[in-house]
Amino acid sequence: MIRLNAPASKSVSHRMLIAAALAEGESLVHHALSSADLERTRAILQTAGAEMEELGNGDWKVKGMPCGPKGGLADSPADCFVGESGTTCRLLTAVLAAGRGVFRIHGAERMHERPIGALTSALSALGADISFEGKPDFPPMSIHTRGLRGGHIDLRIDESSQYLSGLLLAAPFCSEALCVALTGSKAVSWPYVGLTLQTLEDFGIAFRVEQLCGGLWQDVPWKTLRSVKPGEVRITVQPGRYRAGEYRVEGDWSGASYLLAAGAVGQEPVLVSGLRADSLQGDRVILDLLRAMGASIEVREDGILVSPSPLHGIEADMGHCPDLVPTVAMTAAFAEGVTRIRNIAHLRIKECDRLSACAAELARIGVKTEETEDSLTIHGLGPAKPAVSEGTVFCTCNDHRMAMSCALFGLVPGNTAKVDDPAVVRKSFPGFWKEWEALL
């Protein structure tokens, strides 16, 4: 049995550090992830007025900015470089708009190709003045703000739930209660909204979640909502102060998915520690997906044990867990039969077009795939197992999740799984290759 450790949750780390930076007083945040994306979030929060001191081992002392983020002047805006972090860009665009002053938000080239119009339209309706330097509704952009009004706003989250999470984190600084009603054709990645609501609750912010039942709006316990339909849910957040305190970030199910999949397709059982089996993280569903494919899984007190098993194809709606798609797609190469992953059109605007990227890398090992606008079908090799030809180098497409999922192909005896940019994992799981060495 091989023992591995899950990294700290990237999603929870972002939210806890933002909340601590908005709190009145000093907070301690334990076990926060140290990665490229979190570096960008911390740097921007410090630019806006928060103080952060690294204590080691993922622990941070944070002195908040209770009056909200402070920007610059029109001719010298606060420089907010988000790098390649979509989470940083979307969450902090809303949070900064709730502050005072001028903020310029820009990033790496790929970030300037990722839309943000649904969020900026909502912020404009709440009082922020947003100007785009190039293509409308895409960074780079400048926010001129004197705070947000609050009131009622309709919001589409067809592309990303981070639009809603950003507004919810900003809402306590609005001049009046903010009610966000979900509209559009679908609501993707809803479990990530649950992580945001958990953060608000932990930091003492009052809110209510209502669901339309029989034509009437009724309060519902937010933790009971596993998915939502546009037009049937609204969330109201009251103005208030984030509460400083001591908080701990749990392990990351997204980053752990590659380690868990390794237990299913590799040569030895793998025990992954540091995960909460009762976590609100949507990517905890990796256990259900692997089980459905035939994996042997045991939830133990000391971790999650996954043992090698014959796998078979499945059909899965992964609209609420898009970060798991590369993991499942590459695992499907080891399965007997066909795997079809659907409701994933929003993956085309991630760090890369993840549907096309997965299809291209699977083709390198002879796996047949078919793409539609919102689905990917994989014809698994089953007992034949993926064979990597000597000299093959997998393309990461500058995407951390592509790099880590392609590593699975190196678990077949005689295979090596080289990627063109191993360092790209620094975005979310800097210690990935060190953990992975134990499997080889």
Which residues are marked as active site?
323
Other beta carbons within 10 angstroms of residue 223's beta carbon come to 12
Nearby residues of 329 by Cβ (< 8 Å), 6 or more positions away: 339, 341, 358, 362, 376, 378, 405
Task: Say what the alpha-carbon torsion angle 365, 366, 367, 369 is, to the nearest 10 degrees.
Answer: 120
Continuous segment of H or E residues that includes residue 201 = helix 190-202
CA distance 316 to 296: 19
Q: Which two tokens stand for residue 48?
A: 């806006």
Q: Strands 207-213, 178-183: parallel, antiparallel or unpaired by DSSP?
A: unpaired
Report how far residue 41's alpha carbon sits from residue 85's, in angstroms, rounded to the nearest whole number: 9
DSSP-assigned letters across all residues of 203-269 = TT--EEEEEEETTEEEE--GGG-S---TTSEEEEE----EEP-EEEPPBPHHHHHHHHHHHHHSSS-
What DSSP designation does 100 have? B
Judge contact between 373 and 355, C-beta under 8 A.
no
Each residue of 413-432: b (16+ CB within 10 Å) or e?
A: eebebebebeebbbbbbbeb
Strand-pair partners of 221: none
